[in-house]
Amino acid sequence: MRIVRSWLEEFADLRRWSDDELAVAITSLGLSVEATEMVGTPVDGVVVAKVLRTERHADAAKVHRVWVDAGDGVERHVWCGAFNMQVGDLVPLATLGTKMPDGRDILKRGILGIDSEGMLCSGAELGVASDASGILILPANAKLGRNVFEALGMQRDIVFDLDVTRNRPDCTGHLGVARDVAAHFGVKFTPPKGGGAKPGSARKVAVKIVDEQACARFNVTVMSGIVVGDSPDYLARRIIAAGMRPINNAVDASNLVMLETNQPNHAYDATKVASGFRIRLAMAGERLVTLDGVDRALDSADLLICDGNDRAIGIAGIMGGQDTEISGSTTEIALETAWFAPDGIRLTSQRLALRTEASARFERGVDPHGVAHSVARFAAILRESCPKLVVHAGASDPKTKHLPKSATISLRVAQVNRVLGTALNVRQVSTLLTRIGFVCAPKKIAVKKGSLVADGAGLSVKVPSWRPDCTDEIDLVEEVARHVGYDSLGKQVSQSTQPGGLSPLQQRRRALRDVVLSFGASEAMPNPFLAPGDHERAGVGAGVGVGGPVLTLENPLVAEESVLRHSLRPGMLRAVAFNVAHRAAHISLFELGHVYPAHHGVDANVPHNLPDEHEQLCIMMVGADAATAINWWSQITAVFGVGAQVDQNRVPAGYHATRSATLARGKQVVGYVGELDRLVLAAHGIEERVACLEVNASVLLGETPKVPVAKPVSRFPSSDFDLAFAAPTRITAAVLQRALRQAAGALGEEVSLFDVFRKTTGDDTRSLAFAVRLRASDRTLTETEVASTRAACIAAGVKLGCTLRGS
């Protein structure tokens, strides 16, 4: 909202405060000043000159020659395309070398070989008036040679560009801003007077509100004695400064009323709407060509203004139709000033993608009781250019029961103080609210049972009709806070009465990330939205915890981002592929993020039931094999004390058939480990091996690890021996190791695999060598004990089908 300083000053005396002070004050009231702009800046070199004589040139039809005197006694000759000046008139002369507001330089230019020594200017060219059709004729008393801006008494002006929040419809008009600012500075607020126009005979236009909810008030006032023309220059300048365009005096008056009071209105040529008005919802298939020339298809939720014959002539509160506009010959107007339900205007405006100055105001809520004032202001403004204006009596002004009524709110001063930390009394609160139009009366308010607000001293506060945002006590507390000033409310650190800290899960998440970073993997954050087919391309089958179909978005930005991931793999593959394509070295990435598997085992139709979202970890390293991946897992389990069965018989979808495993805990799948399938990698343009680990991080982080209980360290020596078995491929190292550990029994301190040897050709066995360390806590083991344990271990291996090597 562009707020013009001089306009504000019509309603409050703000001369004492500089532009900066004013901007700071307006911002401190919650009307954020986004920019401050200077307008009406004088143009150097444009001076008052007198027309001495004019002369047509036989060969120039569109221009004539004008000789002027700029007070320095030098007669200057200029070519001029406008013919509206008389000899003796005073006109603005842009002398040679002047830089015009539009950036043009005034240079000596010739027509038909005769030079022009400057340029005569229109009001529009100087930015001081709306008229561009002729040269600006200056007041006869202007001093020759004086700068035109000084001669006109032009003043520089300031425009504050405000970001008005949705709850302050009153501040999309100068009046509302002025009221707030005046209260802030404690100066008198003087709203403008309306009227002054001649009252006329009764002229009633029939109005029928069909949809009483969408349109709760519709005033039509007829005015005559209108001569359509330009607005007075100062009003035109105001419209320009406020960011609109002057059209003619009647349309300008309409806009000026809106920019002042926030009440949009619409002036029709009265002869074209003589049949009356009907306000109703659009019918299916109905269309209307709006003022902007667009033929619009309407919806049955759109509110229409129709004439008495039910012909649509405008979309209510948004934009009028083309054929009832005021023309140059209009002498009588029917002025519509209405209240439309904000939601309806907002929805239609959104649906049609048509946001206008009017719709923006109606959808925030205009003053339901400001109609009379707004009509009077229209008349007062239009009368400046139409002295014979007549306002006819007998205006139609139907109101429905849906017209909002002003609320009366009980305000407990103790509640104000409890929320704001202030020590205000009833009188102080009353003063603050009264200044901005609230009507306050002292009131003893009943104390609610159990409430900490134990003092009932307060006010009965009648909310002004232009503040539809104030409906509850807390809204009034905010008004008090704004006018006390947020800065005056103090800063006090709230002392938490609780110990702060991360939850065990959050601490474990940080530890997990730390461990993964130590693997050399860097953190990626791929887009969680996927294209249809991305999961399949990444080889993700029925993923970790996935039962049903994927979740999709109702309203994706693009189809390529319409699927919610139930696996991190597609996004990670894309990130890896990107870096492969850019020939990055040592590509290793990880993501720790949420996945959203579609429901499984829950009824999606039960309200407030949410999908099975959980946190997932995915690590990938290019050029690394499955050994690397399983090593990540073993390090993670070491840190987190959470194990899982590494089941190579369950090949995860999208993984290498013989170099992968499912991580399972009983029936629960907690992750996948190994190398990714070559075809999956090829589909992403990756030729090297990729080691990958995917783990359900929610499971991993959700476990509370057992606190280890200290065991005393044995003071007795260990007995060590190595056993190398030729083990068939079907016997995994883990199975053999577990068998040896069991065989070693209570004496077995450690059984560790230290060597694997495969013959390059031939049989399907490989050598697995284990180091076995035995120890007792209370004695040195005897040779007999060691020998029998060793024999038990060998027997265990043999029982699995392995043979002891080198024996």
162-221 residues near other proteins, rule: CB under 8 A: 165-168
Count Cβ atoms below 10 Å from residue 485 Cβ, excluding itself.
Answer: 12
471 binds other proteins (CB under 8 A): no
For residues 259 and 6, give the distance between their C-alpha atoms in angstroms, rounded to a whole number.
13
Do strands 614-622 and 588-595 pair parallel, antiparallel, or not at all (unpaired)?
A: antiparallel
Q: Which residues contact 533 (CB under 8 A, 6 or more apart)?
A: none
d(CA 360, CA 318) in angstroms, rounded, equals 8
Please say which residue, 103 or 450, places its beta carbon nearer to other proteins: 450
Taking CB under 8 A as the binding criterion, the range among 259-267, 341-349, 675-683, 768-776 that sits at the site for other proteins is 341-349
Residue from 309, 329, 498, 649 touching other proteins (CB under 8 A): that is 498
Choice between 505 and 804, CB closer to other proteins = 505
Judged by CB under 8 A, the stretch of 24-32, 46-54, 113-121, 538-546 that binds other proteins is: 24-32
Among 9-17, 121-129, 259-267, 527-535, the segment contacting other proteins (CB under 8 A): 527-535
Indicate the residue among 114 and 553 with the shorter CB distance to other proteins.
Answer: 553
- Find the binder of other proteins among 606, 679, 707, 710 (CB under 8 A): 606
- Give 144-197 as a DSSP string: TTSBHHHHTT---EEEEEEE--TT-GGGGSHHHHHHHHHHHHT--B-PPP---S
Q: Report the nearest approach of other proteins to the CB of residue 254 (Å).
A: 25
Specify the DSSP class assigned to residue 399: B
By the 10 Å C-beta count (0-12 exposed, 13-18 middle, 19+ buried), 253 is classed as buried
Site for other proteins in 443-462 (CB under 8 A): 448, 450-453
Report the distance separating Cα 766 and Cα 725, nearest Å: 8
Nearer to other proteins, 142 or 183 (CB): 183
Contact in structure between 675 and 534 (CB atoms under 8 Å): no
Q: What tokens appear for 31 in the block? A: 């009307």
Q: Scan residues 260-279 and list those touching other proteins (CB under 8 A).
A: none
What residues are paired with 69 via a beta bridge? 50, 75
Which of 79, 218, 339, 519 binds other proteins (CB under 8 A)? It is 519
> Contact region for other proteins (CB under 8 A) — 153-161, 395-403, 433-441, 469-477?
469-477
CB 314 within 8 A of CB 289: no
Q: For other proteins, which residue of 143, 245, 586, 758 counts as binding (CB under 8 A)?
A: 586
List the one residue from 589, 626, 646, 793 that touches other proteins (CB under 8 A): 589
564 contributes a contact to other proteins by CB under 8 A: yes
CB of 481 to other proteins, least distance (A): 4
Stretch of 104-112, 508-516, 693-701, 730-738 lying at the interface with other proteins (CB under 8 A) = 508-516
The half-sphere exposure of 540 on its side-chain side, counting CA atoms within 13 A, is 28
In the numeric block, which tokens belong to residue 484? 């006390």
Structure tokens at 29: 């009231």
Residue in 37, 323, 394, 486 binding other proteins, rule: CB under 8 A: 486
Question: Does residue 147 contact residue 93 with C-beta atoms inside 8 Å?
Answer: no
Which residue of 199, 421, 641, 745 would you call a contact of other proteins, by CB under 8 A?
421
Q: Is 199 exposed, middle or buried (0-12, 13-18, 19+ CB in 10 A)?
A: exposed
Among 506, 645, 742, 782, binds other proteins (CB under 8 A): 506
Query: 390 to 419, contacts with other proteins by CB under 8 A?
Result: 418-419
Among 309, 329, 496, 760, binds other proteins (CB under 8 A): 496
* Own/partner long-range contacts of 323-326 (Cβ < 8 Å, ≥24 apart): 323/272, 324/268, 324/269, 324/272, 324/273, 325/268, 325/269, 325/291, 326/228, 326/248, 326/250, 326/251, 326/267, 326/268, 326/269
Q: Are strands 563-564 and 529-530 parallel, antiparallel or unpaired?
A: antiparallel
Tell which residue, 669, 701, 703, has the closest CA to residue 567: 669
- Taking the C-alpha atoms of residue 668 and residue 645, their distance in angstroms, rounded to an integer, is 10
In the complex with other proteins, the residue whose CB is nearer, 199 or 485, is 485
Smallest distance from other proteins to CB 509, Å: 10
> How far is residue 17's CA from residue 26's CA, in Å, rounded to a whole number?
12
In the list 2, 13, 17, 28, the residue contacting other proteins (rule: CB under 8 A) is 28
- The stretch among 25-33, 55-63, 87-95, 379-387 that binds other proteins (CB under 8 A) is 25-33
Q: Which is nearer to other proteins, 202 or 553 (CB)?
A: 553
Q: Which CB, 394 or 549, lies closer to other proteins?
A: 549
Q: Hey, which residues between 657 and 696 contact other proteins (CB under 8 A)? A: none
Residue 241 beta carbon to other proteins: minimum distance, rounded to whole angstroms:
25
Residue type, 542: A
Among 197, 521, 701, 724, binds other proteins (CB under 8 A): 521
| 527, 645, 668, 729: residue in contact with other proteins (rule CB under 8 A) | 527
Distance CA 429, CA 804 (A): 94
Residue 35 engages other proteins in binding (rule: CB under 8 A): no
Q: Tell me whether residue 146 or residue 614 sits nearer to other proteins (CB atom).
A: 614
The rounded distance, in Å, linking the Cα atoms of 139 and 428 is: 52
- Report how far residue 153's alpha carbon sits from residue 233's, in angstroms, rounded to the nearest whole number: 12
- Kindly state the helix (H) or strand (E) to which residue 64 belongs, with its residue range: strand 60-69
Among 16, 62, 491, 715, binds other proteins (CB under 8 A): 491
Q: At closest approach, how far in Å is the CB of 642 from other proteins?
A: 20
490 binds other proteins (CB under 8 A): yes
- Among positions 103, 153, 186, 499, the unique one binding other proteins when judged by CB under 8 A: 499
491 or 667: CB nearest other proteins: 491
Among 73, 285, 293, 500, binds other proteins (CB under 8 A): 500
Task: List the one residue from 146, 198, 402, 513 that touches other proteins (CB under 8 A).
Answer: 513
Decide: is 629 part of the binding site for other proteins (CB under 8 A).
no
Each residue 543-562 as x (binds other proteins by CB under 8 A) or -, in order, gives: --------xxxxxxx---x-
Question: Considering CB under 8 A, how many residues would be counted as binding other proteins?
Answer: 98
Q: Is 601 in the site for other proteins (CB under 8 A)?
A: no
How open is the CA angle 502-505-511, to the nearest 5 degrees? Answer: 85
Exactly one of 327, 503, 649, 784 binds other proteins (CB under 8 A); that residue is 503
In angstroms, give the least distance from the CB of 41 to other proteins: 26
What are the b/e assignments for 629-655, b being 16+ CB within 10 Å? Answer: bbebbeebbeebebebebeeeebbbbb
Residue the block writes with tokens 């986004």: 34
Nearest distance from residue 10's CB to other proteins, in Å?
25
Give residues 219-248 in contact with other proteins (rule: CB under 8 A): none
C-alpha distance from residue 348 to each of 296, 343, 564 (Å): 12, 9, 31
Segment interacting with other proteins (CB under 8 A) among 152-160, 268-276, 582-590, 792-800: 582-590
Alpha-carbon distance of 415 to 455, in angstroms, equals 9
Tell the smallest beta-carbon distance from residue 636 to other proteins (Å).
Answer: 14
Q: Nearest distance from residue 26's CB to other proteins, in Å?
A: 10
Cβ within 8 Å of residue 188, ≥6 positions away: 12, 13, 182
- Residue 449 or residue 715: which is nearer to other proteins going by CB? 449
Residue 516 binds other proteins (CB under 8 A): yes
